[in-house]
Amino acid sequence: MPRSAAAGVTPEYWDDACRHLSRRDRVMKKLIPKFGEARLQSRGDAFTTLARSIVGQQISVKAAQSVWDRFAQTVGGPSHRLDPAAVLGLDTPALRAAGLSARKAEYLADLARHFDAGTVHVRQWQQMDDEAIIDELVAIRGIGRWTAEMFLIFHLMRPDVLPLDDLGLVKGISVNYFSGEPVSRAEVREIGDAWAPFRSVATWYIWRSLDPLPVEY
């Protein structure tokens, strides 16, 4: 079982993954020690995790945190466990005032409707494989493959997810492996595949190399 952490839970495989990556990859061997006991943490709430991923689409970690704080304050209640019904109680102007784009406001309302109506299979996700969960999630408006992959990493804590369309991952691989030169999708995949079966863990450290603020959803 994942062990308790100060603000959530962290996966039991983390230390094994760090040892594996440090042995297999020269960049990971240098990066991992820089962040000490820092770990990926899950808040354990599916709706909140997906909502944070929608807020974070195509913007920096720092910007996403700022918008999330304003959004959570607008919704009310604990920021780590938002109530879908409370989100549904807000109109579009209120969501926009929290710093959300019109499209993200629509997406968050639609996500809240799915959870409020019970049309997502939360209790079955632990038994489903990664691609099956992605297929279910992308059927929700506003959730593409990237958001589904963030959910796999941050909520279900799946160890071997490689989010090829993540801007931070692409930039981090460029900076850490190619001296800042542009990288192709094929090059990102090649570097990432060498991290298997712990691609989620390596991705998390790549994110941290760009922004010391812990990545959380």
pLDDT number for residue 131: 94
Tokens 């109506």 appear where? 117
Q: What amino acid occupies position 16?
A: D
Contacts of 81 (CB under 8 A, 6+ apart): 43, 45, 48
Single pTM value for the model: 0.79
**Whether 154 contacts 134, CB under 8 Å:** no
In this predicted structure, the answer to whether residue 22 has a pLDDT above a threshold of 90 is yes
In this predicted structure, the answer to whether residue 21 has a pLDDT above a threshold of 90 is yes
Q: What is the pLDDT of residues 118-142, one digit of tens each?
A: 888 888 888 999 999 999 899 888 8
Q: What is the pLDDT of residues 162-208, one digit of tens each?
A: 999 999 999 999 999 999 999 999 999 999 999 999 999 999 999 99
Residue 178 is classified by DSSP as S
Domain ranges of the chain: 3-42+161-210, 47-154
Average pLDDT score, the chain? 89
In this predicted structure, the answer to whether residue 155 has a pLDDT above a threshold of 80 is yes
pLDDT number for residue 53: 84
Tokens 């709706």 appear where? 47
How far apart, in Å, are the Cα atoms of 113 and each of 6, 105, 152, 157, 203? 31, 12, 21, 25, 31
Q: What is the pLDDT of residues 53-65, one digit of tens each?
A: 899 888 888 888 9
Contacts of 41 (CB under 8 A, 6+ apart): 5, 7, 8, 9, 10, 214, 216
Mean predicted confidence (pLDDT) in 75-93 = 91
139/136 Cα distance (integer angstroms) = 6
User: Between the ranges 9-13, 19-23, 112-116, 118-122, where is the mean pLDDT highest?
Assistant: 19-23
In this predicted structure, the answer to whether residue 215 has a pLDDT above a threshold of 70 is no
Fold of 3-42+161-210: Endonuclease Iii, domain 2 (1.10.1670)
pLDDT number for residue 217: 54
Residue 4 backbone phi and psi in degrees, to 5: -70, 145
CATH class as words, domain 47-154: mainly alpha
pLDDT classification of 214: cutoffs 50, 70, 90: low
CA within 13 Å, CB half, 152 = 30
